[in-house]
Amino acid sequence: MSRTAPDTVARSAPARRPARRLPVGGLVAYAVLVVLAVVYVFPFLIQVANAFKTDGDATADPLDLLPLPGTTAAFTTLFTQLDFPRAAMNSAVVAVAVTLGRVFFDCLAGYALARLPFRGRGLVFAGFVAVIAVPPVVLLIPKFLVLNQLGIYDSYAGMIVPLMADAGGVFIMKSFFESVPRSVEEASYLDGAGTFRTFWSIVLPMARPAVVTITILSFQASWNELSHFVVSRSSPDLNTLTTLVATLTSGGAFGQANQYPLKLAAAALMTIPVAVLFFVFQRQVMAGTEGAVKE
Protein backbone atom coordinates (compact mmCIF):
# COMPACT_ATOMS: atom_id res chain seq x y z
CA MET A 1 0.00 0.00 0.00
CA SER A 2 2.85 2.30 0.82
CA ARG A 3 4.04 2.13 -2.77
CA THR A 4 1.51 4.67 -3.99
CA ALA A 5 0.97 7.51 -1.63
CA PRO A 6 4.38 8.78 -0.44
CA ASP A 7 6.33 8.91 -3.68
CA THR A 8 3.51 10.35 -5.71
CA VAL A 9 3.29 13.14 -3.21
CA ALA A 10 7.02 13.73 -3.51
CA ARG A 11 6.77 14.16 -7.22
CA SER A 12 3.76 16.41 -7.04
CA ALA A 13 4.03 18.20 -10.34
CA PRO A 14 2.08 21.34 -11.08
CA ALA A 15 -1.54 20.41 -11.27
CA ARG A 16 -2.57 19.91 -14.83
CA ARG A 17 -6.00 18.50 -15.30
CA PRO A 18 -6.28 15.98 -18.11
CA ALA A 19 -9.32 17.85 -19.39
CA ARG A 20 -9.81 15.44 -22.28
CA ARG A 21 -11.07 12.53 -20.26
CA LEU A 22 -13.54 14.38 -18.16
CA PRO A 23 -16.47 15.08 -20.50
CA VAL A 24 -17.45 11.50 -21.40
CA GLY A 25 -16.57 9.86 -18.12
CA GLY A 26 -17.92 12.82 -16.19
CA LEU A 27 -21.18 12.78 -18.06
CA VAL A 28 -21.72 9.08 -17.44
CA ALA A 29 -20.89 9.51 -13.78
CA TYR A 30 -23.26 12.44 -13.58
CA ALA A 31 -26.04 10.43 -15.19
CA VAL A 32 -25.50 7.60 -12.74
CA LEU A 33 -25.64 10.05 -9.88
CA VAL A 34 -28.89 11.53 -11.14
CA VAL A 35 -30.45 8.09 -11.48
CA LEU A 36 -29.36 7.27 -7.93
CA ALA A 37 -30.82 10.51 -6.63
CA VAL A 38 -34.12 9.64 -8.29
CA VAL A 39 -34.04 6.22 -6.64
CA TYR A 40 -33.53 7.89 -3.26
CA VAL A 41 -36.19 10.57 -3.72
CA PHE A 42 -38.85 8.61 -5.60
CA PRO A 43 -40.15 6.59 -2.63
CA PHE A 44 -41.04 9.79 -0.82
CA LEU A 45 -42.84 11.23 -3.86
CA ILE A 46 -44.79 8.00 -4.24
CA GLN A 47 -45.60 8.08 -0.56
CA VAL A 48 -47.09 11.57 -0.68
CA ALA A 49 -48.92 11.01 -3.96
CA ASN A 50 -50.56 7.79 -2.82
CA ALA A 51 -51.66 9.29 0.47
CA PHE A 52 -54.15 11.30 -1.59
CA LYS A 53 -55.62 8.32 -3.46
CA THR A 54 -58.42 5.91 -2.77
CA ASP A 55 -57.47 2.40 -1.68
CA GLY A 56 -58.33 1.06 -5.10
CA ASP A 57 -56.33 3.64 -7.04
CA ALA A 58 -53.29 3.24 -4.82
CA THR A 59 -53.28 -0.50 -5.40
CA ALA A 60 -54.02 -0.34 -9.10
CA ASP A 61 -51.77 2.54 -10.07
CA PRO A 62 -49.11 3.21 -7.43
CA LEU A 63 -46.75 4.94 -9.86
CA ASP A 64 -49.13 7.75 -10.76
CA LEU A 65 -47.63 10.80 -9.08
CA LEU A 66 -50.55 13.15 -9.74
CA PRO A 67 -53.68 11.76 -8.16
CA LEU A 68 -56.43 13.71 -9.87
CA PRO A 69 -58.92 14.17 -8.46
CA GLY A 70 -57.23 13.49 -5.15
CA THR A 71 -59.01 12.52 -1.99
CA THR A 72 -58.22 13.45 1.59
CA ALA A 73 -60.23 10.54 2.96
CA ALA A 74 -57.12 8.99 4.48
CA PHE A 75 -56.38 12.14 6.45
CA THR A 76 -59.97 12.42 7.60
CA THR A 77 -59.85 8.88 8.94
CA LEU A 78 -56.58 9.61 10.72
CA PHE A 79 -58.01 12.59 12.50
CA THR A 80 -61.53 11.36 13.19
CA GLN A 81 -61.13 7.66 13.92
CA LEU A 82 -57.56 7.10 14.96
CA ASP A 83 -56.70 9.82 17.42
CA PHE A 84 -53.74 10.86 15.37
CA PRO A 85 -53.67 14.32 17.01
CA ARG A 86 -53.23 12.83 20.45
CA ALA A 87 -50.36 10.64 19.29
CA ALA A 88 -48.76 13.63 17.60
CA MET A 89 -49.04 15.61 20.80
CA ASN A 90 -47.52 12.78 22.81
CA SER A 91 -44.65 12.51 20.36
CA ALA A 92 -44.06 16.24 20.59
CA VAL A 93 -44.21 16.34 24.39
CA VAL A 94 -41.86 13.41 24.73
CA ALA A 95 -39.41 14.60 22.08
CA VAL A 96 -39.22 18.13 23.48
CA ALA A 97 -38.83 16.97 27.08
CA VAL A 98 -36.21 14.39 26.18
CA THR A 99 -34.32 16.91 24.10
CA LEU A 100 -34.27 19.55 26.82
CA GLY A 101 -33.13 17.05 29.40
CA ARG A 102 -30.49 15.51 27.20
CA VAL A 103 -29.01 18.79 26.07
CA PHE A 104 -28.82 20.19 29.58
CA PHE A 105 -27.37 17.08 31.19
CA ASP A 106 -25.02 16.39 28.29
CA CYS A 107 -23.63 19.91 28.49
CA LEU A 108 -23.14 19.74 32.23
CA ALA A 109 -21.44 16.37 32.16
CA GLY A 110 -19.45 17.14 29.03
CA TYR A 111 -18.14 20.32 30.60
CA ALA A 112 -17.20 18.61 33.82
CA LEU A 113 -15.37 15.83 32.01
CA ALA A 114 -13.55 18.31 29.81
CA ARG A 115 -12.65 21.00 32.29
CA LEU A 116 -13.35 20.29 35.94
CA PRO A 117 -10.62 18.29 37.63
CA PHE A 118 -12.23 16.02 40.17
CA ARG A 119 -11.27 12.76 41.78
CA GLY A 120 -12.82 9.86 39.85
CA ARG A 121 -13.17 11.73 36.60
CA GLY A 122 -11.42 8.96 34.69
CA LEU A 123 -13.74 6.44 36.28
CA VAL A 124 -16.84 8.37 35.35
CA PHE A 125 -15.56 8.78 31.84
CA ALA A 126 -14.85 5.07 31.53
CA GLY A 127 -18.37 4.42 32.81
CA PHE A 128 -19.85 6.42 29.98
CA VAL A 129 -17.66 4.57 27.48
CA ALA A 130 -18.85 1.22 28.82
CA VAL A 131 -22.46 2.34 28.48
CA ILE A 132 -22.03 3.16 24.81
CA ALA A 133 -20.92 -0.40 24.19
CA VAL A 134 -24.25 -1.86 25.37
CA PRO A 135 -26.58 -2.50 22.44
CA PRO A 136 -29.98 -0.90 23.17
CA VAL A 137 -31.82 -4.02 22.12
CA VAL A 138 -30.36 -5.90 25.07
CA LEU A 139 -32.12 -3.42 27.33
CA LEU A 140 -35.62 -3.93 25.95
CA ILE A 141 -36.84 -6.42 28.51
CA PRO A 142 -35.06 -5.11 31.61
CA LYS A 143 -35.98 -1.48 30.93
CA PHE A 144 -39.59 -2.53 31.27
CA LEU A 145 -38.75 -4.24 34.57
CA VAL A 146 -36.91 -1.19 35.91
CA LEU A 147 -39.77 1.14 35.00
CA ASN A 148 -42.10 -1.20 36.83
CA GLN A 149 -39.91 -1.12 39.91
CA LEU A 150 -39.80 2.63 39.87
CA GLY A 151 -43.56 2.82 39.44
CA ILE A 152 -43.37 4.93 36.29
CA TYR A 153 -44.38 2.26 33.80
CA ASP A 154 -47.07 3.45 31.39
CA SER A 155 -46.58 7.12 32.18
CA TYR A 156 -44.97 10.14 30.55
CA ALA A 157 -42.14 9.93 33.07
CA GLY A 158 -41.39 6.36 32.06
CA MET A 159 -41.39 7.31 28.41
CA ILE A 160 -39.21 10.39 28.86
CA VAL A 161 -36.68 9.93 31.63
CA PRO A 162 -34.93 6.76 30.38
CA LEU A 163 -34.38 8.35 26.99
CA MET A 164 -32.49 11.18 28.65
CA ALA A 165 -29.65 8.78 29.38
CA ASP A 166 -27.31 9.62 26.54
CA ALA A 167 -23.62 8.91 26.79
CA GLY A 168 -23.00 9.79 23.15
CA GLY A 169 -24.11 13.37 23.64
CA VAL A 170 -21.82 13.71 26.64
CA PHE A 171 -18.89 12.83 24.41
CA ILE A 172 -19.83 15.32 21.73
CA MET A 173 -20.04 18.10 24.29
CA LYS A 174 -16.87 17.00 26.01
CA SER A 175 -14.90 17.17 22.76
CA PHE A 176 -16.33 20.54 22.02
CA PHE A 177 -15.57 22.05 25.40
CA GLU A 178 -12.02 20.78 25.10
CA SER A 179 -11.58 23.02 22.07
CA VAL A 180 -12.69 26.17 23.90
CA PRO A 181 -9.67 28.25 25.00
CA ARG A 182 -9.13 28.09 28.74
CA SER A 183 -8.24 31.75 28.96
CA VAL A 184 -11.93 32.59 28.61
CA GLU A 185 -12.86 30.87 31.85
CA GLU A 186 -9.84 32.07 33.75
CA ALA A 187 -10.89 35.63 33.14
CA SER A 188 -14.33 34.81 34.47
CA TYR A 189 -12.91 33.14 37.58
CA LEU A 190 -10.68 36.13 38.19
CA ASP A 191 -13.84 38.23 38.11
CA GLY A 192 -15.06 36.07 40.98
CA ALA A 193 -17.72 34.09 39.10
CA GLY A 194 -18.55 30.60 40.36
CA THR A 195 -18.21 27.39 38.36
CA PHE A 196 -21.83 27.17 37.24
CA ARG A 197 -21.98 30.84 36.42
CA THR A 198 -18.82 30.59 34.32
CA PHE A 199 -20.16 27.51 32.58
CA TRP A 200 -23.63 28.92 31.99
CA SER A 201 -22.94 32.46 30.87
CA ILE A 202 -19.40 32.29 29.46
CA VAL A 203 -18.60 28.85 28.07
CA LEU A 204 -22.03 27.53 27.07
CA PRO A 205 -22.83 30.42 24.71
CA MET A 206 -19.59 29.68 22.91
CA ALA A 207 -20.71 26.11 22.42
CA ARG A 208 -23.74 27.06 20.37
CA PRO A 209 -22.90 25.02 17.27
CA ALA A 210 -22.42 21.86 19.32
CA VAL A 211 -25.58 22.53 21.31
CA VAL A 212 -27.59 22.98 18.13
CA THR A 213 -26.17 19.73 16.84
CA ILE A 214 -27.08 17.62 19.83
CA THR A 215 -30.46 19.33 20.07
CA ILE A 216 -31.32 18.25 16.57
CA LEU A 217 -29.90 14.77 16.98
CA SER A 218 -31.79 14.30 20.26
CA PHE A 219 -35.07 15.53 18.86
CA GLN A 220 -34.75 13.37 15.80
CA ALA A 221 -33.83 10.29 17.82
CA SER A 222 -36.65 10.63 20.33
CA TRP A 223 -39.24 11.55 17.70
CA ASN A 224 -38.31 8.46 15.70
CA GLU A 225 -37.94 6.15 18.72
CA LEU A 226 -40.08 3.02 18.64
CA SER A 227 -38.82 0.19 20.80
CA HIS A 228 -38.66 2.15 24.04
CA PHE A 229 -42.30 3.20 23.67
CA VAL A 230 -43.27 -0.38 22.93
CA VAL A 231 -41.98 -1.52 26.31
CA SER A 232 -42.54 1.56 28.47
CA ARG A 233 -46.26 2.08 27.97
CA SER A 234 -49.39 0.23 26.98
CA SER A 235 -52.40 2.51 27.18
CA PRO A 236 -53.63 3.88 23.87
CA ASP A 237 -53.69 7.35 25.42
CA LEU A 238 -49.90 7.24 25.50
CA ASN A 239 -49.45 6.17 21.90
CA THR A 240 -46.75 8.07 20.08
CA LEU A 241 -46.79 8.44 16.32
CA THR A 242 -44.33 5.59 15.94
CA THR A 243 -46.35 3.14 18.01
CA LEU A 244 -49.61 4.24 16.42
CA VAL A 245 -48.32 3.79 12.89
CA ALA A 246 -46.69 0.50 13.83
CA THR A 247 -50.11 -0.68 15.05
CA LEU A 248 -51.57 0.30 11.71
CA THR A 249 -49.10 -1.83 9.79
CA SER A 250 -49.00 -4.80 12.11
CA GLY A 251 -52.67 -5.69 12.13
CA GLY A 252 -55.20 -4.72 14.72
CA ALA A 253 -58.49 -3.10 14.00
CA PHE A 254 -57.35 -0.89 11.17
CA GLY A 255 -54.50 -2.95 9.87
CA GLN A 256 -56.43 -5.86 8.45
CA ALA A 257 -57.22 -4.48 5.05
CA ASN A 258 -54.44 -2.98 3.00
CA GLN A 259 -55.54 0.64 3.39
CA TYR A 260 -52.24 1.89 2.05
CA PRO A 261 -53.29 5.54 1.62
CA LEU A 262 -54.12 5.70 5.32
CA LYS A 263 -50.76 4.28 6.38
CA LEU A 264 -48.83 6.36 3.88
CA ALA A 265 -50.62 9.50 5.00
CA ALA A 266 -49.77 8.78 8.62
CA ALA A 267 -46.15 8.05 7.73
CA ALA A 268 -45.90 11.21 5.65
CA LEU A 269 -47.34 13.40 8.39
CA MET A 270 -45.03 11.98 11.02
CA THR A 271 -42.06 12.74 8.79
CA ILE A 272 -42.89 16.44 8.48
CA PRO A 273 -41.40 17.76 11.75
CA VAL A 274 -38.05 16.01 11.36
CA ALA A 275 -37.98 16.91 7.68
CA VAL A 276 -38.56 20.61 8.43
CA LEU A 277 -35.93 20.56 11.14
CA PHE A 278 -33.57 18.85 8.76
CA PHE A 279 -34.03 21.38 5.98
CA VAL A 280 -33.72 24.35 8.31
CA PHE A 281 -30.60 23.11 10.06
CA GLN A 282 -29.20 21.05 7.22
CA ARG A 283 -25.64 22.23 7.68
CA GLN A 284 -25.54 21.52 11.39
CA VAL A 285 -27.25 18.16 10.98
CA MET A 286 -24.74 16.99 8.44
CA ALA A 287 -21.73 18.43 10.19
CA GLY A 288 -23.08 17.11 13.47
CA THR A 289 -23.53 13.58 12.25
CA GLU A 290 -19.99 13.61 10.99
CA GLY A 291 -18.70 14.85 14.32
CA ALA A 292 -20.97 12.66 16.40
CA VAL A 293 -19.79 9.42 14.99
CA LYS A 294 -16.17 10.42 14.72
CA GLU A 295 -15.97 9.87 18.45
Partner 1 sequence: MSRDVAIPATTPAAAGTPPTTRPRSPHGRRQARAGWVFTAPALLLVLLFVGLPVVMAVWVSVSGWRGRGSPFASGVPFVGLDNYRTLLAGGGLATQDLGTALRNNSWYVVLVVPLQTVVALLLAVAVNRRTLRGRGFFRTAFYFPSVTSSVAIVVVFLFLFSASGAVNQVIGVLGIDGPNWFADPRGVLHVLLGGLGGGEAPGALAEHGFIGISWWEWLAGPSVAMSALIMLAVFTTSGTFMLLFLAGLQNISAEVEEAALVDGASSFQRLRYVTVPMLRPVLFTVLTLGLVGTWQVFDQIYAGTQGGPAKTTITPAYLSYTSSFVDQRWGQGAAIAFILFAIIVVLTLVQRAVLRGDRT
Partner 2 sequence: MVLHHSPARRRTRAAVIAAATTLGLLLAGCGGSGFDDTGGAASPDGGSGAKELQVLIGSSGQAETTAVTQAAQAWGTSAGTEVSVTAASDLNQQLSQGFASSQPPDVFYVGSDVVASYAANGSLAAYGADLPGSDDFYPNLRSAFTVDGTFYCAPKDFSTLALIVDEKAWTAAGLTDADVPTTWDQLATVAGRLTSGDRTGLVTSSEYQRLGAFMAEAGGSLVTDGKATADSAQNVEALRYVKSLLSAGSMKFAADVGAGDGTEALGTGKAAMTIEGNWAVGGIASSYPDLQYRVLELPAGPAGKGTLSFTNCWGIAADSKAQDQAEALVASLTSTDQQLAFTEAFGVMPSVASAADGFRQQFPAQAAFLAGADYAKTVPNEAGVSDVVKDLNAQLEGLAAGDPAEILGSTQTNLEAALKG
**Identity of the amino acid at 14:** P
List the single partner that 234 binds among partner 1, partner 2, none, CB under 5 to 8 Å by kind: partner 2
List the single partner that 76 binds among partner 2, partner 1, none, CB under 5 to 8 Å by kind: none
Shortest separation between residue 15's beta carbon and partner 1, angstroms: 5
Q: Which is nearer to partner 1, 86 or 267 (CB)?
A: 267
151 belongs to the binding site for partner 2 (CB under 8 A)? yes
116 belongs to the binding site for partner 2 (CB under 8 A)? no
Q: Which is nearer to partner 2, 212 or 230 (CB)?
A: 230
Q: Quick check: 192 and 260 in contact, CB under 8 A?
A: no
2 belongs to the binding site for partner 2 (CB under 8 A)? no
148 belongs to the binding site for partner 2 (CB under 8 A)? yes
User: Which sign does the torsion angle of CA 113, 117, 123, 126 carry?
Assistant: positive
Which of 34, 145, 280, 286 is in the footprint of partner 2 by CB under 8 A? Answer: 145
Which of 188, 239, 240, 242 is in the footprint of partner 2 by CB under 8 A? Answer: 239
Q: Which is nearer to partner 2, 25 or 252 (CB)?
A: 252
Q: Quick check: 44 and 264 in contact, CB under 8 A?
A: no
Binding residues for partner 2, total number by CB under 8 A:
34
What binding mask, one character per residue, do residues 143-182 give for partner 1 by CB under 8 A, x or -? xxxx-xx-----------xx-xxxx--xx--xxx-xx-xx
Residues numbered 49-78 forming contacts with partner 1, rule: CB under 8 A: 50, 58-60, 62-63
Residue 225: phi, psi to the nearest 5?
-65, 135
209 belongs to the binding site for partner 1 (CB under 8 A)? no
134 belongs to the binding site for partner 2 (CB under 8 A)? no
37 belongs to the binding site for partner 1 (CB under 8 A)? yes
List the single partner that 252 binds among partner 2, partner 1, none, CB under 5 to 8 Å by kind: partner 2
84 belongs to the binding site for partner 2 (CB under 8 A)? no
* Euclidean distance between CA atoms 134 and 36, whole angstroms: 35
Q: Which residues bind partner 2 (CB under 8 A)?
A: 59, 81, 122-127, 129-130, 144-145, 148-151, 153-154, 230-231, 234-236, 239, 243, 247, 250, 252-253, 255-258, 295
